[in-house]
Amino acid sequence: MRFRNKGLIAGNQSRADLATRARVIATSRLLQKTPLLLQRVAAYVTLVDRTIVIEEILVRLPPKDVLRCRAVRKLWHSATSTNKFVLDNHCRQPSLPVIRQCIPGREGVGFVVFRDNGAMASNQKLSPIIRHSKLIKLMGACDGLLILSSGSYFWICNPATRKCAPLPQPRVQSSSPWGSDFYIAGFYRHQPSGEYRVLWFSYVCHRGYVLTVGSDKPRSISRPSVSSRLPRYSCQDAFDSCYSSQLNHRGNLHWLTGIYMETPVGIMVFDTVTETFRWMRSPDQLGCRLSLLEMDDKLASCSSSNATIEIWVMQDYDAEDWALKYRINLLAMKTSPQFGLSVRFISKMALLNQRELLTCSCTGPQGPDFLLHCDIDGMFLGYVEIKEAKHPVYFTNQYIQESLIPLPFSEMQEERFVYTEPPLSVGL
């Protein structure tokens, strides 16, 4: 079955843009082949203007293909290693939801992303970014960097560059029987300084800590109070980045609290520049399994009730004005003849290409679970059937936008990590 990707090429692009896209696709396909073909590509592009090669073709390629190009020519290596190129290349990558996948017969998990590349086989849509990990929790994602954990162990990695390192925790005396008093509430880039920072919360006291990646010297900040409307068991997970619905929007971290209640309690906002918290009104949205999204540069909230999906969009961020934008009934969707849709409930949703949804849907105890791909107008685009186990996949709340950005550690720190065996196998 061929998947459609309406977000790949905008309808009003110029012929020059389409020609550039064609060159990018052709080059990317060649890079999937042998090193000999890479040499042929290099010989060909010597006849093409250098600016076109670097700024129109290489900058649009996936990071793993850029790394292959670096090994072919010194000119390409130097041109694709500048800060400007790395950031431009990162901005052109799609934002992909990260899915945790159980590995039958093996300890640990893998992490995959859904790529709609037009392949015929549905199982080719799930592309691994971490093939095996003893760290089963994905705690944060920012600029292509991931933070994973298990118990008191935390690691940071870049799947595109295959680099990983232990992540220091706040050096504060611990009294927790689990080995750590802290959990990660947020991972973000501090715009004024360019530093990557982690927001840590304490299990045992109402304190928060901001720690720059690569440092072990935390800065204490006041932690926000949790709404009294939240059940006691939900207060602990309200800001845990592994379990909460969290989104980095407009340079601020947002947490949608009460996501498993009939109506959400509210949205907590953390200003990453001033390092202050405030509450924001949530939409008057019914349903369950709510999640925050960013749609067309606007804050959005998505929920499901049985086989119906609702998407609310914030029309005015400052006025906190919400409006119901889309309602999708999966049972009314026209599917392919090979696929009989009988959805019992939707366990999780994620956004693709700003206008498409990927849902983890269940047909009941006897039927198979599957990933359903549709657009926000209710058009069926395809599906991936899950056959290995009863609950083999779990949608994390994180998205990855692949990049060549290096780990934010000093050279001295990186030398120490060479002798530390990572508990995960990274690589695209």
Assigned domain for 30 exists: yes
Note whether 78 and 158 are same-domain residues: no
101-110, 350-359, 397-406: least confident range = 101-110
Mean pLDDT of 275-283: 89
State the pLDDT confidence band at 282, using cuts at 50, 70 and 90: confident
Give every CB contact of residue 417 below 8 A, 6+ residues apart in sequence.
164, 165, 166, 409
Note whether 186 and 43 are same-domain residues: no
Assigned domain for 203 exists: yes
Assigned domain for 3 exists: no
Query: Which amino acid, one-letter code, is at 122?
Result: S
Average pLDDT, rounded, for the chain: 78
The pLDDT of residue 143 is above 90: yes
Assigned domain for 9 exists: no
- In the numeric block, the tokens 């030398």 are attached to 415
pTM recorded for the entire structure = 0.83
The pLDDT of residue 190 is above 90: yes
Note whether 181 and 290 are same-domain residues: yes
Assigned domain for 8 exists: no
Mean pLDDT of 26-37: 57
Last residue of a domain, one of 62, 91, 120: 91
Note whether 263 and 325 are same-domain residues: yes
Note whether 52 and 200 are same-domain residues: no
Number of domains in the chain: 2
- In the numeric block, the tokens 């095996």 are attached to 132
Note whether 327 and 259 are same-domain residues: yes
Assigned domain for 281 exists: yes
Last residue of a domain, one of 91, 125, 142: 91
Note whether 38 and 164 are same-domain residues: no
What range does the domain containing 120 cover?
96-424
Note whether 65 and 154 are same-domain residues: no
Note whether 115 and 84 are same-domain residues: no
- The answer to whether 281 touches 267, Cβ cutoff 8 Å, is yes
Mean pLDDT of 266-272: 90
CB atoms within 10 A of CB 380: 17
Q: What is the pLDDT of residues 290-347, one digit of tens each?
A: 889 999 999 999 888 877 889 999 999 999 999 999 998 888 887 754 555 566 667 7
Note whether 78 and 201 are same-domain residues: no
Return the pLDDT at 202: 82
Query: Which amino acid, one-letter code, is at 158?
Result: N
- In the numeric block, the tokens 């295959």 are attached to 162
Assigned domain for 312 exists: yes
Note whether 260 and 403 are same-domain residues: yes
Q: Which of the two residues, 211 and 1, has the higher pLDDT score? A: 211
Give the dihedral of Cα atoms 100, 92, 310, 4; nearest 10 deg. Answer: -90
Give every CB contact of residue 47 below 8 A, 6+ residues apart in sequence.
none
Long-range contacts of 99-102 (CB under 8 A, 24+ apart): 99/126, 99/393, 99/394, 99/395, 99/396, 100/136, 100/138, 100/393, 100/394, 100/395, 100/396, 101/126, 101/392, 101/393, 101/394, 102/388, 102/389, 102/391, 102/392, 102/393
Count the helix, strand and coil residues of the chain and give each as a percent rounded to the nearest 5. Answer: 20, 40, 45
Note whether 159 and 240 are same-domain residues: yes
Assigned domain for 4 exists: no
Query: Any idea what the CATH number is for the domain that residue 387 is in?
Result: 2.120.10
Last residue of a domain, one of 91, 111, 128: 91
How many CA atoms does the CB half-sphere of 291 hold within 13 Å? 24
The pLDDT of residue 46 is above 60: no
The pLDDT of residue 82 is above 60: yes
φ/ψ region of 420 (left if φ > 0, alpha if ψ in -120 to 50, else beta) reads: beta
